[in-house]
Structure 1
Amino acid sequence: MGSFGSDTIIIVICALMCSSSSTTATMATNLNLHMNLTDDLPAAQSFVDSLISDYFKTERVLWQRIEHRADNILLQVFKSHETFFDKAMDHSGSGVLARDLIPNIETLINIGANVNSTTELGQSHLKEQTLDRQSITEYSSFALKILKDASNLFDYATNDTLWENIITHLSNCHNNGDTVQSSHQIIYDLYRDIQSGFLKSYITAQMSYMILGYYNSGENYSEQVEILRTTFQQRFSDLRQIAIRFLKKSDKTVWKCDTIVNNVFSSYTEISNFLQGFVDNEANLNSAASCAGVCSDYRKTSHFQCQSGSLCDSHFNDHEQAKCTGIIRDCQDIDDSDVNICETGEPNRRYNYIKYSDGRTAGNSKAVCHGRLRAESWIRWFVQCSNCICLCDDIKSKRTERYFSLREVVSNIVDNKIITGVMLTKQNGIIHLAIAERTLLPHGQAETTSEHSFYEPWKSSYEFFNIDDLNIEENVDFVTLTYENRSINLDMVSVPKGWLVTGVRFRVTNAGHITLDVRATQFDFITGKLKDLTSSMWVSNPQCGQTEIVLNRPSNPLNHLTNLSQINNTPNAFIKFGPTDYWNDVMQLTVPFIDTQRVEPYNPIALSGIGLYHKTIAGSGGFIGPKLIVYDFESYILDK
């Protein structure tokens, strides 16, 4: 066959590769990176790394056949490269979603888009399998363009600032309603996209040489091909080492920022009518109707009678909320003989504020009153019968909502379903867990659903129930918060390596704390199949509940709209549900509130853990919400 005049193209490719090779070597020296592999790391590779390894093997076989002028070799070259192009294109683009998540990566995304665009143009020539001089020259020009893009891509991808910015930016809330994504997942997705871009560049350039080698049988391109191969092997290796270094530093957690719509918090619920501020006279707090003590003497008592002139006296104040029919706790002196009480019309409050005779106000003095009470003390036998502010713990009240479901919520592992998201919800006064259930795919990925899909991945345990339903048992189906047992562990529960999260549930510890358990199931990373289903096990955090997060004079979380709540990262902590501060809110609400937003990564992915956390700002009671731990992909990036 005749020789095609392609000397200029070859010289430019060679010059570009020689220059890039030098740059790569320098970059590798400056980075001074070493990959530490341990014996317990999985032998499996990420898809793009596996594809790279497979291509290097295929490429060498094709060159041997070209040198021996094998039958139909050009068709084999076309078909082999078409397969690799299709796989590389199918497994790229996930990092493009990071455009909306990370600032200052527009250039990187655009370069990757240029590589994809050039690849698609090259593919169109490849599919036509045209063999004329013009087509081959055009394809070689594609190779030149994509190599330049690859060099630019490499320059951006090996800049530490890019990766450090990702980790820093995803460490906290920035915008109302954001999901704080895992920097680990973003780094891994970008790594896959960038490696895929390098691979497409390399495939295009190698194929260009193969076509030239086929038609220019008298020419020897081995030196240029080896430079190309060495350069890209070094690029692949450098990026793997950078990814590993920053994946080690990255955060695997996913959680939700506050969502505020029209200056109102949305997607929350609360424990209600539990340990609520309540005014009563000390004469009603003991069986002898004595006023000889002080309010603080009454740490745990009941409403024994209703003395004439006290709030509960129907002749004095005809108000149901002036009474407490449960246990009365932790009383304190109001320190005033007479106070005016502003009643509320809200079902989860008794009072809006208490106004003292000297002008002081406990609570929100600007709130609208739906009734007014006057609490007066009196003197009997030279002893003052004082009014007290106490906590009313009325477990039998129809208004109280203080229950947590203990039922497990699990994915359908028989159908290869895993958990990719978690939310908290309240139904019939009971806090439930709900999950996003999706099909596990190869390499730790999960199926996605379009915005208009009929498939709804979110589900709870069973049908919602009432605590007084037939065959519903306390401490089996649900647990009740009490004064003594009102703590919830803010723990992270992780599954072992090689396992994924397929279930979640609340459980009560021996210390009386509500805590999380997760179910773990083994899986095959390459095939994306769950395995050994009967060996699935429930996992807990044995270190949970060690350090209490104490709220300092907490107020109503809904009153803090100017700043977004920030997460408290105290490890192995717990927090007690309790009343808001007396002076801020007359101890009317139970905090923390419960964040009921759905929490799932922007790109659904396998999880290796689930936890609870507390987020707040100064003065707020804050919110409790679920936090996810995405699967650890670091060990699947193998530089070999």
Structure 2
Amino acid sequence: MRFLVVFSLLALALSPASSFGIHDALDVVGVAKDVVIWIAKAWNLIEGHVEFSDVPLPLLEKTEKQLFAKIDLINTKLNHLSAQVDAVGTNTISMMLNNLPERIRLELRLNDLLNYHDLVGNAFQTMQKYVQHRDTLEESTLKNYADSVVSHDPNSVTGMIESIYTFAVPSGRGINDRGILHLMSKSLKEVEGDMLCNAHQSPQQVLFSLYNAIALTELKGYSMIQFAYMLKRLYGEGNFTMEAQIARERFQERTNKIIEAVKAAMDSSSRDLWKCDPKRHISGDTYVEVTQLLQGYIQNEVDLNSEGTCRENCAEYSYTKSHGCFQNLWCQKQRRCHGKVINCRYVDSDMWICPADNQSRRYEYVEYENGRVLGRKQGCRKGTSKVDSWWRWLFWHCSYCFCLCDEQGINSDRYINLRPSIADVQNNMVVTGLRFVKNNRIIHLQIQEGKLLPRGNIDMSTVHWVPVEDYRITDSHVANGQDYHTLTWEKRAVDLDDLVADDGYVVTGVRFKMIGSHLNFEIYITPFDFETGELIDPQTKSMYKDNPNTDSSLHKPRTRVRLINPDISTRSPSPSVPDSKSDQYIEFTNTDMDRDAAQTTVPFLDAQPVDSLQPVPLSGAGIFHKGQKYFGGFIAPKLITYDFSKHLQVAFPETEPPIN
């Protein structure tokens, strides 16, 4: 009966005004405060404010039913919180175990931390089962459970909670002279490029997720400890008032110290989130291409001038066009360049050309008589053609030149969307992810959006990718330079920047615009209230933010990311790594002559979705280049996750109002 009464007292303490207040938001600190309050109220009742004999049995039974309905609701909410925190926190711990070097793995003892996390969770589940089967439990079972929770054995719940704390907060001596959060922050900086791009979390998010897992485990442990002391008091084993007070003070001290540790670690951690290369590259799925912007093209000098002469050399034709097809020689057998012919050069007089068997390339490879091979010589399905230069009147050599063709047409996807991609701000939606997609031959930067909730949370049920605008360059009322940009030899640069919103703003959209000959990235930002989660007057207070620096700016002029003899991006045997920074730019160009016969436009654009394991609002976004030397690499989007560290405050200040 006393076991039932203690839960009745808890039910009386848990009035609607003082219940957990667990919403969809992950606010472990807020829940911790509520737990301390209702446990204190329960102790006030147990310590003589209510006489058990004064409670009529019918009222007790009615209160019992209300009690367990309330406990079931609390358990459901706490389980919901656990599911969200553990899904990210456990994944974070396991991910770090599998990827950190052995030295760091041993120092941090992450394996022990994961074990303690699971053991405390199991003990908490046991408490929940005892609540469900309250009518059939023996008193000795509950006494044994209470002893196992508050025992001085290091494997008790109390012992495990203290062990977790020593991992989290620096002790100033021994192997744990630096706390796990500090060491984790340091190691994340060392392994960021190798690991975190596949973790779906920024380094700061990893720390915050680990903190949430630790804080929730602490909260479960504290609840069990207080419950155990209540049981021992009810079963006449002692008063336990001082023990309960010490447990409360220790819990508050640990909570405050852990918050201080994670805040310090998060302050210095990167908030960048980007994607590693996939295990397997799939065109249209993991990457999209600008096609045939600049492509290797072979034509004789006689066709590169309007007079049909051979008086110059190939290098003289740096910017021309194809003027004809002399005597229907090799020019008759290949697809003619109807655009600009650029940067011609002489390689050798005679050659064997292997024509491509698809429309994306002109040649598979070119083999010159001097032995030089352009591209990969791996068989020729269409058979090679012998192409020889010739002499005219013994004085003029009509040489075949290797040039670049800049030709618009159905085979060249070279269009970049300029229309803005804006979240549904009227319904409190914000950007939570980015990716490049190609639609109707136009490349778009697509946004993922989700509804912003209080304290920086996102309503998971609302998260989705916003369809890109479905238009074609041939549609009426669609104009080049207004709706889309056409890449050309003269206008093929993309600015690379990390853009961060002003304090108090979140990202609600993105777009590209033109600054001179450069595509320039912009973010659309909107002010918001962190506590309520409401966007503030988005129609009038939202604004674009950019970096308008150019390569000719007096202050911090842009520098160029140069691709050195690049091969096709997807041929790289090593995963791409970021090799650009803000205030730089990169130009779309052709692949290397020798490696690919200059047949492919690089860099590619990364089409993998960049989003968080736990969707969060963004403080910024960026466009950067990742690659390896001698390969084209990828232009990719980057997320800059919201900085939650500035909202982490001490949960239990030294001076606080008394609990009534």
Q: Tell me the TM-score normalized by structure 1.
A: 0.82
Q: Is the 8 A contact 1:409 1:460 kept in 2?
A: no
Give the match for residue 297 of structure 1.
Answer: 316
The 2-side partners of 1:102 and 1:611 are apart by 26
Is 1:458 the counterpart of 2:472? The answer is no
Cα displacement string for residues 232-275 of structure 1 (whole angstroms, at most 9, x for unaligned residues): 22211221122122212322222222224499996222111111
Give the match for residue 55 of structure 1.
Answer: 35
Q: Is the 8 A contact 1:407 1:461 kept in 2?
A: no
Deviation at 1:58, TM superposition (A): 4.1
Q: 2:207 aligns with which of 173, 187, 190?
A: 187
Q: Aligned residues: percent identity?
A: 30
| RMSD, aligned CA | 3.4
Deviation at 1:66, TM superposition (A): 4.4
Amino acid at match of 1:172: G
Give the match for residue 255 of structure 2.
Answer: 236
Q: Is the 8 A contact 1:55 1:84 kept in 2?
A: no
Give the match for residue 319 of structure 1.
Answer: 333
Deviation at 1:486, TM superposition (A): 0.4
Give the match for residue 222 of structure 2.
Answer: 202
Is 1:167 the counterpart of 2:188? The answer is yes
Q: 2:121 aligns with which of 103, 116, 121?
A: 116
Give the match for residue 578 of structure 1.
Answer: 589
The 2-side partners of 1:180 and 1:121 are apart by 33
The 2-side partners of 1:437 and 1:338 are apart by 57
Q: Is the 8 A contact 1:172 1:180 kept in 2?
A: no
Please list, as runs of the form range in 1=range in 2, the aligned pairs for 1:19-58 lying within 5 A after superposition.
Answer: 47-58=27-38
Higher helix share: 2
Amino acid at match of 1:354: V
Q: 2:494 aligns with which of 488, 492, 509?
A: 488
Deviation at 1:458, TM superposition (A): 1.8
- Closer, same or farther: CA 129–558 of 1 in aligned 2, 3 Å: closer
Could you tell me which runs of 5 or more consecutive residues in structure 2 were left unpaired when the two chains were aligned.
Answer: 3-24, 98-104, 151-155, 170-175, 552-557, 654-660
Is 1:601 the counterpart of 2:612? The answer is yes
Q: Is the 8 A contact 1:269 1:425 kept in 2?
A: yes
Cα displacement string for residues 214-243 of structure 1 (whole angstroms, at most 9, x for unaligned residues): 6769x6544323322232222112211221
Name the SS for the 1:101 alignment partner. helix
Report the more deviating stretch, 52-61 or 544-553. 52-61
The 2-side partners of 1:496 and 1:264 are apart by 37
Q: Is the 8 A contact 1:328 1:393 kept in 2?
A: yes
Deviation at 1:628, TM superposition (A): 1.3
Q: 1:253 aligns with which of 254, 272, 277?
A: 272
- Closer, same or farther: CA 263–530 of 1 in aligned 2, 3 Å: closer
Deviation at 1:600, TM superposition (A): 1.4
Q: 1:528 aligns with which of 521, 530, 533?
A: 533
The 2-side partners of 1:558 and 1:86 are apart by 48
Please list, as runs of the form range in 1=range in 2, the aligned pairs for 1:323-362 lying within 5 A after superposition.
Answer: 323-334=336-347, 336-362=348-374
Is 1:427 the counterpart of 2:433? The answer is no
Could you tell me which runs of 5 or more consecutive residues in structure 1 were left unpaired when the two chains were aligned.
Answer: 3-44, 313-317, 450-454
Is 1:508 the counterpart of 2:514? The answer is yes
The 1-side partners of 2:497 and 2:466 are apart by 23
Deviation at 1:350, TM superposition (A): 0.8
Give the match for residue 658 of structure 2.
Answer: none
Give the match for residue 91 of structure 1.
Answer: 81
Give the match for residue 422 of structure 2.
Answer: 410
Q: Is the 8 A contact 1:88 1:200 kept in 2?
A: no
Deviation at 1:607, TM superposition (A): 2.0
Amino acid at match of 2:206: I
Amino acid at match of 1:557: S
Report the number of matched residues: 581
Q: Is the 8 A contact 2:303 2:323 kept in 1?
A: yes
Amino acid at match of 2:513: R
Cα displacement string for residues 310-339 of structure 1 (whole angstroms, at most 9, x for unaligned residues): 532xxxxx3241x211111111122x2212
Q: Tell me the TM-score normalized by structure 2.
A: 0.80
Q: Is the 8 A contact 2:200 2:611 kept in 1?
A: no
Give the match for residue 24 of structure 1.
Answer: none
- Closer, same or farther: CA 186–564 of 1 in aligned 2, 3 Å: same
The 2-side partners of 1:229 and 1:579 are apart by 67
Report the more deviating stretch, 405-414 or 531-540. 531-540
